[in-house]
Structure 1
Amino acid sequence: MKPYDLLKGSIEFASKQLEAFKVTKSLDDVSTIVITALYRKIIELSEGVRVSAANGLAGPAELNYRALIEATLALEYILKNPAKMDDRSKAYKIGYHKLQINAVNQEIFSEQERRFLGRGLSYHQKELELEELQEVLIKFNELQNQDRRGFIPKWYSLDGGPRSINQLAKYLAEENEPETLVSNLYGLLSTGAHMYMALNSIKKSGGNLTIKPVKATFNCNLDEYNFVATRSLLTSAIAKFTREKHPEYIGNLRDFFKRIRPYLSVN
């Protein structure tokens, strides 16, 4: 089984698990909501890597991979300390709603557009008023007020946490987290996200410059699109989600790992 096939099989397993979870479980608390949403995002971004690669789109595959690392870091940080899991989940939710509100308030919209956006804005504002969020919201607002520009803080920076995604990655790596959480990998990929890597499509052909085609040749037998690393991030998330929120699926998880284990050492 090649890296592409292992990734495809892992995505199918995780997607099936998520559907089973939705049938038997309720999103009845903030930590379950946030952790399940992050798990879904990790599956989606893994599929984004696979689909982009299958179509020979190296740039989108890399951006999906970078976002996958960030989502994995978020899940890792929330689950890192069980005593802080609820507060970190609440901070993540608060940050999400604040960013949505800020996006509307910062843009210049017509009156008609504002009426259209009003319903969504009202939803986000009401979510921030939930009683269960108030204690963490106070801390969040205090941290935001410390910034002279009033910028919304990173959700993971509450209670003296990391102030940037790279600091978060380094913190988790220093705490002996899995090899997939290597901070310099995120730093490497961040250049592509900022579009500085657009010029890597220029190459020399003979004595002249030329530009690469939009779609590259795809070979499922090679790992040119981070298939191994993507699968590793995804399977790590599968194990953590199962252990924390879906223990009824542990038997399925064991069977799945037994099936793929013989192929891991050669990839």
Structure 2
Amino acid sequence: MIENQSEKAAESICRDLFENHLYFKFIVDPKGNQKQRARAYHYSYLQDQLHLVNTLLSKKEDGRQIRRFMGIENRDGDLEKLEKERLRISNSLQREEFKNIKLEWDYLVKKKNINYPKWYSLFKGPRNIRELAARCGHLPEYLTLYNILSTQVHTTNVLHQIENVNGVAFLRNLRIQDNPDLVLQFSRSLGTFSLLEYVNFVLPEQTESIRKWTISNIIK
């Protein structure tokens, strides 16, 4: 993407990469309950899917507008397929391995008035990405690089897309390179961190050799 001057799109992806790195590191942290955290992540994913299906099947005006927008009609059994998918997801959420997750999730929704809990917040976990980053030892990256990348994702940098040419305002080209080194270095670091975390979790005996290989071939 950088080679094609799609730096802004790369920034958005790099931000997602940081979040996913935190998720993985939090799940495999040997000081925590790895199985419980993995199940919480899976449970949250299923809740996302259920929310989407419920939105598509909603009888409210919002649901009708969404179906019209997406071209979902019942002539090909679209709604029946969605109903079956909703039932499948609902049944999955009731599985025995999710019992404790469901109890905690429902507690936060009903007792704490949290409409949609973050999976990592269950069982007194971090309340937000900042706290998650701090827990995983990446608070400096969150306070600097993550916040910088967030301006692109949330389009709070809209004025940065305007340039002054002889006193006249013009929109900048979509394909530009402002600071590609930032994205390249951050993504490389995150990729390296994630690789070592994965190896340490799956093949801990290979961690040191992979670390040395990484230093020799990637971090030069």
Question: Same fold, TM exceeding 0.5?
Answer: yes
Report the residue type matching 1:92 in the other structure. Y
> Is the alpha carbon distance of 1:190 and 1:217 closer, same or farther for their aligned partners in structure 2, counting shifts above 3 Å?
closer
Counterpart check, 1:75 vs 2:24: yes
CA shift for structure 1 position 244 = 0.6
| Aligned position for 1:210 | 170
CA distance, structure 2, for counterparts of residue 120 and residue 256 of structure 1:
45
| Aligned position for 1:244 | 201
CA shift for structure 1 position 163 = 1.7
CA shift for structure 1 position 111 = 5.9
> Is the alpha carbon distance of 1:240 and 1:135 closer, same or farther for their aligned partners in structure 2, counting shifts above 3 Å?
same
| Aligned position for 1:156 | 120
CA distance, structure 2, for counterparts of residue 126 and residue 152 of structure 1:
19
CA distance, structure 1, for counterparts of residue 144 and residue 85 of structure 2:
37
For the aligned residue pairs, the C-alpha RMSD in angstroms reads: 2.7
CA shift for structure 1 position 95 = 0.8
CA shift for structure 1 position 224 = 3.3
SS in structure 2 of the partner of residue 162 of structure 1: coil
Q: Gapped runs of 5+ residues in structure 2?
A: 57-62
| Aligned position for 2:49 | 100
| Aligned position for 1:199 | 159
Q: Report 1:7-156 matches (<5 A).
A: 52-107=1-56, 108=63, 109=67, 112=74, 113-148=78-113, 151-156=115-120
Percent identity between matched residues is: 24
Does 233-242 or 190-199 show the bigger shift? 190-199
Which has the larger Rg?
2
CA shift for structure 1 position 251 = 7.8
State how many pairs are aligned.
204
Choose from 226, 240, 243 the match for 2:183: 226
Report the residue type matching 2:54 in the other structure. N
8 Å Cα contact 2:54-2:86 kept in structure 1: no
SS in structure 1 of the partner of residue 40 of structure 2: helix
SS in structure 1 of the partner of residue 107 of structure 2: helix
CA distance, structure 2, for counterparts of residue 59 and residue 143 of structure 1:
36
CA distance, structure 2, for counterparts of residue 111 and residue 145 of structure 1:
35
CA distance, structure 2, for counterparts of residue 100 and residue 194 of structure 1:
23
8 Å Cα contact 2:105-2:122 kept in structure 1: yes
CA shift for structure 1 position 249 = 5.5
Report the residue type matching 1:188 in the other structure. I
TM-score (norm 1): 0.66
Choose from 130, 137, 152 the match for 1:166: 130
CA shift for structure 1 position 196 = 2.1
> Is the alpha carbon distance of 1:181 and 1:89 closer, same or farther for their aligned partners in structure 2, counting shifts above 3 Å?
farther
CA offsets 1:176-218 (integer angstroms, 9 cap, x no match): x257743443233223212222332111122111121121259
Report the residue type matching 2:102 in the other structure. L
Report the residue type matching 1:90 in the other structure. R
CA distance, structure 2, for counterparts of residue 180 and residue 243 of structure 1:
23
CA distance, structure 2, for counterparts of residue 54 and residue 179 of structure 1:
30
CA distance, structure 2, for counterparts of residue 119 and residue 249 of structure 1:
45
CA distance, structure 2, for counterparts of residue 217 and residue 139 of structure 1:
46
